[in-house]
Amino acid sequence: MKPRDDATRTLPSGWTFFRQWLKDPRRVAAISPSSRQLARQMMHQLPRNSRRVIELGGGTGVFTQALLEHGIAPADLMVLELNEELHRHLVEQFPGAHVICGDASDLAAISCKHGFADEHAADAIISGLGLLSMPRQTQQSILQAAFDSLRPDGRFIQFTYGPANPVAREVVEAMDLSARRASFTWWNVPPATVYVYQRRVSRSMPPTSMR
């Protein structure tokens, strides 16, 4: 176990994020934390009456804070962050939430372990992962684990800095998902687009019985 760096506790969250980007820019997708406007746009895409939510790539907690302000109870919120220093920051900032240091590809197993599966599956997943830069196989592994942790009508809400859908068309088609461009904000560094993914109606809704 690495020794705790108490000095980082006093640093602004933006500096903490930037330090981690400098250490490994391939695994930390942005150079600065997401804006509050982007967080509001992400919250706007949550299903109505959402109660249980999973966040992937918690970073410095901008979306985590927005989810709590939106009304998600800490006990009904699970946040995954792979970076150890950012994970420690989130644990300190949000002690009531389930803050896990783990890989999004392992989300299905993590969800089962922490009570976010089956009848307790999430209504939505908020993602700050850099899917656009990931190979298709990794994208599909993460999306599969995510939809295994969602209710049948649940939403996967992702933002991207690219101009196009961050999930490869082949992955969307292979998983029989619908994908829509929900919003765009210039007031983020860099500007960001929000996409929403869901199972197609034929898969997410049980067939109506004939009478």
Q: What is the pLDDT of residue 187?
A: 55
Q: What is the pLDDT of residue 36?
A: 80
pLDDT tens for each residue of 19-76? 443 344 444 444 345 578 889 999 999 999 999 999 999 998 999 999 999 999 999 9
- 192-199 and 122-127 beta bridge pairing: unpaired
Does 8 reside within a domain? no
Residues of the chain above pLDDT 70, percent: 76
Paired with 54 in beta bridges are 78, 125
Residue 188's SS3 state is coil
Cα-to-chain-centroid distance, residue 38 = 13
Whether 202 shows a pLDDT value over 80: the answer reads no
Does 133 reside within a domain? yes
How crowded is residue 32: how many other Cβ atoms within 10 Å of its Cβ? 15
- Counting DSSP H helices and E strands in the chain, the numbers are 8, 7
pLDDT top residue among 130 and 189: 130
Which residue range(s) make up the domain with 52?
34-201
Paired with 104 in beta bridges are none
State how many domains the chain has: 1
**CATH code at 154?**
3.40.50.150
How crowded is residue 190: how many other Cβ atoms within 10 Å of its Cβ? 10
Q: Is 107 left (phi over 0), alpha (psi -120 to 50) or beta?
A: alpha
Q: Residue length, the chain?
A: 211
Does 110 reside within a domain? yes
pLDDT tens for each residue of 113-135? 999 999 999 999 999 999 998 99
Does 4 reside within a domain? no
